Amino acid sequence: MQTATAAPSPAPYWLKDTLAPVTAELTSFDLEVEGAIPDELTGLYARNGANPREGHSGHWFLGDGMLHGVSLRGSKAEWYRNRWVRTPRFAGEPVQSPFDIRNSLANTSVVSHAGRILALVENALPMLMGRELETLGFEDYGGKLATSFTAHPKICPATGEMHFFGYALRPPFLTYHVVDADGALRRSVEIPVKGATMVHDFALTRGHLIFMDLPVVFDQALAVRGTMPFAWNDSYGARLGILPRGAGIEALRWVEIEPCYVFHVANAFEAADGSIVVDVAWYDELWRGGPSEVSFEPARLKRWTIAPGASKASEQFLDDRAVEFPRVDDRIVGAPHRFVYAIDAGRPDDGGLVAGGFDTLRKYDTVSGGYQEHVFTGSVPSEFVHVGARDGAAEDDGWLMGFVYDRARAASDFVILDAQNIAAKPVARVRLPGRVPQGFHGNWMADAPA
């Protein structure tokens, strides 16, 4: 008599289709280009994402970090590389403690500041990287940084300062930091939140910091299961902490908002009447009972407006369609913006963001209420970033760039669009030698003038 064998469980969404990890590190030179790369673009575009070395992980957010980069110079795409970030964890070193800020996957973002390229994950120190995506080691600012480092620092275009925070599972739960334009850590301030929540992003204006204290809270049982250790908590509440830049913690005030979760802030600014305006990708709820293995909740573009002295923000949807990865022109971070660029995250019934069920990049005009779209027929875009044509140019005078998976050739392209006319044919399409899995965040890093 034979015993029936149970069918294997299907792979979770983050190990399938366009999110599935790649197994090889590639290097390719003199890449084929369709169209023309603008002469002004000299530098490196790099993007980070989770790519588990062993081919499996407990959640989309828990795979080893892998950078994918394209170097542009002289109107040519001189190379493409993908490299795992060589963290101690990648090397197989045992984890000493869940509170160890060197227990890093370095898998979420990559930024450049003060001549340093940093691979980031929100529970650990930054990893210092070279321009050819080689790992150089941890960056702790001369031993002064004693907390983790968010994957979403804000670089102020007016001062060159980099503002960031670190959150933790034990007190102090949230700490705010400032690194000056020369790369020195100058300020660290504890922010008094109520508990151990997942704080993925924050907002910066020219005059204020806005911290989000939201009801996705640490859950020990989930941590034991090896998945993301956070879940929705109905009793926690939701609020924004408003701190004037340069002020002491006694100036912090809290403003109530409707319960929600936000991974990503598009931008924030001070309006003419003194109100603070914050545009976000807004989830009405996230991870009730813990993260799902089959789907990811949809987010919508929302605006919070905080009037001077108000104890509660007013809330307005800018669009009802599902979106994620909202970005603005980095030259105006913290200042009033008109345009927001975001990826259409698909419909909930097609798997949306995590199933490759979307093909559209959208440019929102927050003044007129209109929008433009670029539809990548038969292809799947990841986050796109805006690169300004030059200092002083109009807000949308420049380019949008990002990776797009081309299903027909089972490989990815690096695509450059005209930011003023995103519906048009790409300015340039760089053919890459392999697939870039859908991942998280990247940035353009212009080379210093010769």
Q: Are 149 and 122 in contact (CB under 8 A)?
A: yes
- Residue 264 marked in a binding site: yes
The Cα–Cα gap between 402 and 437 comes to 12
The Cα–Cα gap between 345 and 341 comes to 13
- Residue 441 marked in a binding site: yes
What residue type is 173 in one-letter code?
F
What residue type is 415 in one-letter code?
V
* Positive/negative CA dihedral, 92, 93, 99, 104: negative
The 10 Å CB-count burial string (b at 16+, else e) for 328-347 is bbbbbbbbbbebbbbbbbbe
The Cα–Cα gap between 412 and 433 comes to 8
Q: Are 415 and 41 in contact (CB under 8 A)?
A: no
Q: Are 122 and 147 in contact (CB under 8 A)?
A: no
**Rounded to 5 degrees, what angle do the CA atoms 234, 236, 237 make?**
90
The Cα–Cα gap between 292 and 154 comes to 30
**C-alpha 165: how far from chain center:** 14
Beta bridge partners of 255: 240
DSSP 222: H
Q: Which of 176, 301, 291 is nearest to 243 (CA)?
A: 176
The residue ranges of DSSP E strands in 180-270, in sequence order, are 185-190, 203-204, 208-213, 216-218, 230-232, 239-244, 253-256, 261-270
What residue type is 331 in one-letter code?
R
The Cα–Cα gap between 210 and 245 comes to 10
Beta bridge partners of 179: 162, 185
- Residue 152 marked in a binding site: yes
Q: Please give the helix or strand (H or E) that residue 34 lies within, else none.
A: strand 33-35
Residue labelled with tokens 């994950």: 121
Query: What's the start-to-end Cα distance of the chain, in Å?
Result: 77
Residue ranges of the binding site:
152, 200, 264, 441
Q: Which residues are annotated as a binding site for Fe cation?
A: 152, 200, 264, 441
